[in-house]
A and B are shown apart, each in its own frame.
Chain A
């Protein structure tokens, strides 16, 4: 109670330098807000002809035929969300485990170079991932991984049907590889920042190292780790070239993870340069708008989850 008025009195004596700094900081954050608003406005303006022509049916229709100018985004929304979902499930599991290992288990001589290598993965250009996916992962999926999965899980619709090599699952795996460094690097930093006291207390109570990591450290770090996953998910939703090369580019919704699919970003990358009619261009921009909205919804949902996690922690 006493801290607040005292702080206010101090604040009255700000130097001009402080004021200038504050202005710069404010300007920076406002610039970002303006950028987002400008992007949104530009997307809406660009997609207006398509919004007017197709209405809400654009989101629920499955046909994508540039010749007859019939456009619908549903298969691409499905593909975008599914590949990102596969990616985040795989990347979260592997990334968090790797982070725990790097933070609490790895000896120094191994931990340092290993985290350096993982961070290096984030610097690999996405087209390289895409080429690797097309020439290595897709054939491996078709000849080895796919048949193996089908042999074990073929009774579920998720793993049935012909295996092309390219498809939803391959796209998801490529994305997982691309976002694992983000999850790992941030999660490791969060875990390292958890106070030593917690670990020591847990050990003192007789927990093993493993129990300490899983039951004490990870729960304490979960908000930060969740943030890492949200950041990674954002990258997965918008990733373009690598996914385009391995997803099969077929605007169709299939229950099988082996089936070719399409993502919002891939369609734009594929067709924008040669889109000659104005309604075609407009439909592509509307895909961009939908991608923008999908990312926003996903981020909002993740934020809500973080808040609920935080809330339950306080109780």
Chain B
């Protein structure tokens, strides 16, 4: 018994010794945005298949946590839905490069039994979230939806209760459309929601679940969740006056309309382009201009990620690939990295 145990231990040690050199190959670590996680895990898996000596360990601890870990240099790169601001950059121990990594949009999901198409203008959406429009059969909604039998039902406004980049993009959009929203509420990852019948739900899955199970509810959800949960989403009128729904194409159109994207000028909400979906935004990867080590590998992984090969993995997990011009801009920024 003991002998067989010993033999077992010995063979385990041999196996461990044989696998160790492979495991000692470069491991890069990143932390941050939960929004990026499905895309990153897919993309980094594919990268590892092609480059077995490099593995990327990404921890989706939230953008705030990602920035904190990155600032403390405990990870090689951070990921955040909103670029680091001047104060955060000042706290970082070195110059930081911020690179757009992926694109997303927030669809306006609703639950009105029997109603499969709904049209909303930007102003009506703001008024719903401000608590000015309280009923679904309000004349302002009825005017946009002629022939639809809107019920005399209270509108239940659902929002994210956890701090999130999706909330940032959504409130950024509302602030762009309405001066009242901008002064009363503002733009942020968590805000104080003014509508009297608002309900907070945790995560995209929480908002999706809440909207699905509550007739009369409206809520903003990441595009992928609307597709996966077969929910009905409203058509929005964009700045150009066109009716658009949240699809990879309309989100990409919003991004392509503002190619001069940078970490200080990153908002692409409420685009004036004809085919653009107004509630769209980037997610960002942050790296040091002079990484302490593993710089070469880090550069290779990230330039692959923001290039055509890495971005090709976005569609399969319902993310929107960066438009070509943004890919080029991202590659140019990344080129400043010392390696």
Residues of A at under 8 Å CB distance from B?
63-68, 134-135, 138-139, 142, 162, 164-166, 244-245, 248-251, 260, 262, 266, 269-276
Contacts and interface: CB of A to CB of B under 8 A. Distances in A.
B199 A248 contact: yes
21 contacts: A66-B188, A67-B191, A134-B210, A162-B154, A162-B197, A164-B197, A165-B214, A166-B210, A245-B202, A248-B199, A249-B202, A270-B161, A270-B162, A270-B200, A271-B190, A272-B64, A273-B65, A274-B163, A274-B190, A276-B63, A276-B189
B138 to A, nearest CB: 17
A138 B64 CA distance: 31
> Chain B interface residue count: which class?
20 to 34
Given A67-B188, A166-B210, A245-B206, A273 B163 contact: yes
Contacts of B161: 244, 249, 266, 270
A164 B202 contact: no
B192 A63 contact: yes
Interface string B58-95: 00011111010000000000000000000010000000
Nearest to B64: A274
Contacts of A68: 186
Nearest to B171: A67
B213 A250 contact: no
A294 B317 CA distance: 44
Given A270-B162, A274-B163, A66 B191 contact: yes
Interface of B: 61-65, 67, 88, 154, 156, 161-164, 185-193, 197-202, 206, 209-210, 213-214
Q: Which 6 A-B pairs have the closest CB atoms?
A: A274-B163, A273-B62, A249-B200, A249-B161, A65-B192, A67-B186
B86 to A, nearest CB: 12
Nearest to A281: B64
A134 B209 CA distance: 7
A272 B63 CA distance: 11
B88 A276 contact: yes
Max chain B Cβ within 10 angstroms of own Cβ: one of A134, A162, A271, A274: A274
A64 B88 CA distance: 23
Contacts of A266: 161
A139 B213 contact: yes
Contacts of B64: 272-276
A56 to B, nearest CB: 21
Contacts of B193: 250
A205 to B, nearest CB: 55
Given A270-B202, A276-B63, 12 more contacts: A138-B213, A164-B156, A248-B199, A249-B199, A250-B199, A269-B162, A272-B64, A273-B61, A273-B62, A273-B63, A274-B64, A274-B189
A244 B202 contact: yes
B173 to A, nearest CB: 15
Contacts of A166: 199, 201, 210
Contacts of A250: 193, 198-200
Nearest to A140: B213
B199 to A, nearest CB: 5
A52 B164 CA distance: 28
A65 B191 contact: yes
A134 B213 contact: yes
